[in-house]
Structure formats: C-alpha cells, structure tokens
Amino acid sequence: MPDELGARSDLASDGAPRRGPSERALDAIRPLANLPVFFKLTGRRAVLAGGSEAAAWKAELLAASGADVAVFSPSPSQKMLETAGRYPQIAIFLRDWTPDDLNGAALAVADAQGLEEAEAFAAAAREVGAPVNVIDRPEFCDFSFGTIVNRSPLVIGISTDGAAPVFGQALRARIEALIPANFAAWAQAAKSWRPQFSQRASGFRQRRNFWERFATLALASAGRQPAPDDLDGILAACALESDAQTKGQVILVGGGPGDAELLTLKAVRALQSADVILFDDLVSPAVLELARREAQRINVGKRGHGPSVGQADISALLVTLGLADKKVVRLKGGDPAVFGRTNEEIAAARAAGIECTIIPGVTAALAAAASLGVSLSERDRARRIQFITAHAADGSLPVRLDWPALVDPGATTAVYMGVKTLPALVQRLLDEGLDPGTPAVMVENASLPEERRFVAAIAAMPALVAAAAPEGPCMLLYGQTLDRAGNATPSAAP
C-alpha cells in the first residue's frame, strides 16, 4: 500500500479537517440462489431416467455438451427416439433404471413418475457422488437447468431459481436480440488464438491488453467473421504499446450524477480494466459495482465543509500508482472537466511521464435538466448556458464572478456547490438586478431514486431550501426556461 494512504489531520483551506485516502474493501457478493457454473461433460457419462418429451430435451442438452448419455426407459416417447437419432452418443436402454446404472455417472437426471421414484433416484445418485436433477421436483435437485443463450463457445445461462421461468425466457429473448449470431465465431477465434498469443505474452498487463483489444474489435465488428489479419493487428498494436509504455496509465473518468445507466460504454470499459480506482465520495455504489472485482478501490473524496482528501495528496497518489505500472482510473462524479480540478491531476501525471486521458461523463446540470424534462436553451429566451460554482476555496461565495452575465435574462445558469452560500448568492443576484420572479429549481440527488426538487422564484429559493435541509449534492438552475419545471414532480413549493 503506498505511503500516501496514511491519514492526515491538518486543515484544508476552508477550515474543514483533512483526511487521507482510504482503501475501500470490496463489497461482499450478494447472496446467490444458485452458484452459476459451467460443467465439462465431453466424453463423460450422464444417466437419464425417463423417456418423456421433457426428458428428451434434457438428453439433447447433455449430448450437445459432449456427454455420453445413457437413457433408461421401457417406453421412450417419439421425441426421445428422434433426439437419439440425431446424437449418436445417446444410448436408449428399454428398461427401468437400477442403482447400479448410476455408477460412474458425472451427472444424473430423472423424469420421475412419482415422489417415491424421485426420492429413490436422488438417493442412488448421491450415493455414487453424482449431482442430481429431478425434473420439476426442486426439493430433490442438486443443480438446475437454466435458460441458455448459445453462441458456443460463448454460452450464457439464465436462472430464476424456478421462481419465474417465463421471465427467464423473456430475458433470453432480449439477450438473443443483442448478441449477433456470429459472436460464436469470435468466441471460437478467441479460443484458437489463445495459444499463439500466450507464447508471446510476458505478463498480466500484456495479456489483459490483448483481450481488451480483442473484445473492442469483436464488439465493433459484429457484422463480419474474424480473420487472421485481426490477430496480426492486435498483436502488432500490443507490441507497439509494450515498447512505448514503460509506466502506468491514468484515466480520468466521468462517473455521472449517480445513475449507473448514464455511464458511457467507454467509462464502463475503463472501470472493468482498472488496477486501481480512486473515487470521490459522490460516486454511487452502483457505479463502483461495474468495476473489475479485482481492482483496488481507494476513496479520495472531497466534500465542501467536511473532512476531505487534499488535492495534492490525490495528485501524488496518482503519480505513485502510475509509476508503479498501474492502470489507474480516477473516477469523478459528473464530468471530470466541470469543477473537478482535473488540470492539476493531469499536470502531475504528465510531469511524471505518465499517460493521462479523459473520458467525459454526464454533468449534474444536464442530468437535472433531463430529470425535469426541460431544455436549458431556447430560441429567443435562452441563447447561452453558463455553469458556475458558488463555493470558493475558503468555502465562501466567490467574489470574482461575472455578475452582469449572471443576471442576464437571456441566459440559463447552473450553479454547482451552492447550498451553503445560497442566501448570499441570491441576495447578490437581486442586488445586481436579477428579476426576483426568475424561475428556479434546486435539484437534490439528480438522477437517483431519492431525488428531490424544489421549485420557486429565485427570491424565495433560500428559505425553501433552508426549510428542506437537503443533505445530498444539489444543483441550482435558474432562468426563463425553468418556468416549464413548475409541473415537475416530486417537488416542494414555497
């Protein structure tokens, strides 16, 4: 662990106590109804008791997975006979099963005729150590057959633990529509290319870089089959990067206002490839959940008037991790380029010779406007949108603001970090000539389920917000286009 993770007790410039970066333990996996596993059956024996149509479907699944399937049924259905005709590794024995038939079975499946047979079959299978499934009798099952999306060797299994099979089938249909049929060819290419690449890879970073490039190419080339040139191109790109990159990488990622679905695909890919993630307090748990589980998570949050990690500490930690050859994601709430002190972090990384890039995110002002269902610009009423922060380095209202611009009736203004200084801000705006009746909305926790909205004329907003005492991050919007936010719900009125 870098020394920079040690705690600090000095004060920030606004008098708030500082804190050191702190590693966040990975959240425990939420309880699973079943453990999703993929079982190798090629060349292994599977026993199936019963010859019904339901049993025939299980026989086909087992045979398609490479198993040698022994079916025991004195009167197999026509469906079972047709299935056995398609798969030479299915052998039908025209008699009832016996406990000895289960010897050497990798899996045991039965379509039992009654409770007594189900109980006996499950007991006989467990006696020889074979996992058992009794169709439509979950109380006797060690495993279940989920709904399958088949792009083998890419296989996706869906289970609802028997609670809602139709729901599982609906999800399968949705996933089938999203995954092109030729993804099977790309998955097969990955399998066949692995040995060639493994001979050239010298470490974890090279291997991960190769597969990240492969995944990006496969997703972008869904309409065609993989070609040998694709492998050559990926290997060449990896070789160039390996020669050029002697240090780690820093990626500044916009985490958006909180709703994980507002992340860009590029942001998600960065999170899933990171070695270390430095995240702000305002980054939601749902966003962090999208990160690679093996990634180290370090909280470097800064909160107005609250315990905060110093910016110099954050920049130094980015450099330390980058020089340690780590791929570091600096995850910021909203957009990194909007009041995020991004330039300081970029400058520190680049001064140390570390590659640094930015992935933009949805900033809170735009998320709030979308939630309200309004446009911040409008012909003839608002031809300019301006973003300001109402929070200076010492926590007070900034004095170097363009007040004539902020009272312009032809502009829409978004105010970040403005709750503490709201009374002083509104008073100054009114003193500078802003119409007291200017429509305004304060949005707390924009885009999240706990979002609240406070709608009032600008002059009444301080009293309304003081009475509501919001604790989450807030965004103030004011201007003529906000008059259409009066019907927004949920809201509070003065």
CATH class of 365-492: alpha beta
Per-residue CA distances from 223 to 210, 230, 292, 354, 453 (Å):
21, 14, 28, 36, 45
What kind of architecture, by CATH, is found in domain 45-145?
3-Layer(aba) Sandwich (3.40)
- 58 tagged catalytic: no
**pLDDT averaged over every residue in the chain:** 88
- Checking if the pLDDT of 8 tops 50, the result is no
Give tens-digit pLDDT for 152-179: 888 999 988 877 888 888 888 888 888 8
Identify the weakest region by mean pLDDT among 65-79, 80-94, 282-296, 332-346. 282-296
- Provide the 10 A C-beta neighbour count for residue 281: 15
pLDDT at 7: 39
Provide mean pLDDT across the span 87-107: 97
Distance of CA 233 to the CA centre of its chain: 29
Q: Tokens in use for 262?
A: 């507002």
Provide mean pLDDT across the span 304-323: 84
pLDDT at 477: 98
Q: Which residue from 320, 395, 400, 298 is spatially nearest to 3, judged by alpha carbons?
A: 320
Identify the weakest region by mean pLDDT among 2-16, 119-133, 298-312. 2-16
Confidence of residue 77 (pLDDT cuts 50, 70, 90): very high
Q: What is the DSSP code (8-state) at residue 130?
A: -
Among candidate residues 280, 313, 335, 408, the one labeled active-site is 280
Give tens-digit pLDDT for 384-395: 999 999 988 888
Q: Please measure the distance between the N-terminal and C-terminal CA atoms of the chain and give it in whole angstroms.
A: 51
Helical H segments across 12-114, by residue range: 53-64, 78-86
Confidence of residue 3 (pLDDT cuts 50, 70, 90): very low
- 280 tagged catalytic: yes
Per-residue CA distances from 429 to 62, 74, 106, 380, 453 (Å):
73, 89, 76, 22, 21
For residues 266 and 269, what is the distance between their CA atoms, to the nearest angstrom? Answer: 5
pLDDT at 19: 72
Confidence of residue 298 (pLDDT cuts 50, 70, 90): very high
Domain residue limits, the chain: 45-145, 187-244, 246-362, 365-492
29 vs 113, higher pLDDT: 113
Query: Which helix (H) or strand (E) element contains residue 404?
Result: helix 403-406
3-state secondary structure of 3: helix
Among candidate residues 58, 302, 327, 332, the one labeled active-site is 302
Confidence of residue 9 (pLDDT cuts 50, 70, 90): very low
For the chain, give the percent of residues with pLDDT over 70: 90
- Checking if the pLDDT of 410 tops 90, the result is yes
For residues 452 and 450, what is the distance between their CA atoms, to the nearest angstrom? Answer: 6
Q: Are 191 and 153 in contact (CB under 8 A)?
A: yes
Provide mean pLDDT across the span 105-113: 96
For residues 109 and 89, what is the distance between their CA atoms, to the nearest angstrom? Answer: 16
Domain 246-362: assigned CATH number: 3.40.1010.10
pLDDT at 2: 37
Model confidence pTM above 0.75? no
- Checking if the pLDDT of 148 tops 50, the result is yes
pLDDT at 242: 62
- Checking if the pLDDT of 305 tops 60, the result is no
pLDDT at 27: 67
